[in-house]
Amino acid sequence: MTKKSARTAGPTALALQGGGSHGAYAWGVLDALLETGFTFDAVCGVSSGAILATMAVQGLVRNGATGARTAMAAFWDRVVATNMFAPLTGHLDRWVPGFEIGREFGNSIAMQGMSALVNMFGAATINPLGQNPLRPILADLLDPDALIHPSAKRLFIAATAVESGRPRIFTNQDITTDALLASSCLPMLFPPVTIDGIAYWDGAYSGNPPLAPLLALNPTRLVLIRAQSRLRAGVPTQTNDILNRVQEIAFQTAIDAECAMLPPSLAFTEYTADQALAGLTPESRANADRTFLDRLFTAGRAGA
């Protein structure tokens, strides 16, 4: 965690990075902060960070900090209970001999097989119907009325327009299941989410998350919770490890540039996930096993 000094009290802004299942680390940090009395006036998130932000904002409306913590936990409970990647990996048995054995070792093993097949045949072949296991979970948990309640915190989630590469910011009244799916759309597995005729991918490609919507509110305090590794020991040599590190670097570049330009009068607190994520494979971003998520959640609480 890093900090710098503040000016007089004013709005507090919260920024939540995305990282698939690695977002359970950010969940742990935010859970601990809320438990100890942390409050915020506005939040921006992408991917799993967008979902956490949405759950927290609507939970706060229902029952304050307890409601926010309950709503965030309910999302991860549903991810575990529904074995969310089963619709994508369940049919691989007929293509990969012995693939069913991999299920015993969790979804990250299943996703290694999925990644290999996507590289060979393309996402449209592997997932021809464009199934996204998050859709029914989000459709059930999303509470649009809570998001537009007069007491709701300002909420910004970002997705990346495929053709322009620019972020689109969705605010409280704009946030739908499709908007959340767009913010968390991994193009290697899912088709782009089309909203108002524009195709979108994961928001982390254009900012992880973008800070501009928060800084426009002139906050006096900014809290950033990362769910991607900035630092990783060792130089990768295998193709998959190289691509993973390239993606990690790319996902941090935009926000690091924004952080470097923060005004000196702004109080800035940053929670990093480097230690908690050390040694994890790219496929672990799709690991929905309870023990794995709980380990990252516990690490996040300890980091806070």
Helices (H) and strands (E) counted in the chain, each on its own, are 13, 9
CA of 209: how far to CAs of 107, 157, 257, in Å? 26, 8, 12
β-strands 154-161, 42-45 pairing: parallel
- CA distance readout (Å), 130 to 20, 114, 136, 186, 248: 18, 14, 14, 11, 25
Among candidate residues 21, 31, 47, 115, the one labeled active-site is 47
The upper half-sphere exposure of residue 31, i.e. CA atoms within 13 Å in the direction of its Cβ, equals 22
Distance CA 90, CA 113 (A): 11
φ, ψ for residue 114, nearest 5 deg = -60, -45
The tokens for 32 are: 């601990």
Which candidate in 183, 184, 202, 229 is catalytic? Answer: 202
Catalytic, 47? Answer yes
Nearest to 153 by CA among 254, 276, 40, 27: 40
Radius of gyration of the chain from its Cα atoms, rounded to whole angstroms: 19
Q: How far apart are CA 150 and CA 130, in angstroms?
A: 36
Q: What residue type is 141 in one-letter code?
A: L
Secondary structure percentages of the chain, helix, strand, coil, to 5: 50, 15, 35
Q: CB of 79 within 8 A of CB of 27?
A: no
For the beta carbon of residue 288, count every other beta carbon within 10 angstroms. 25
Residues recognised as catalytic = 47, 202
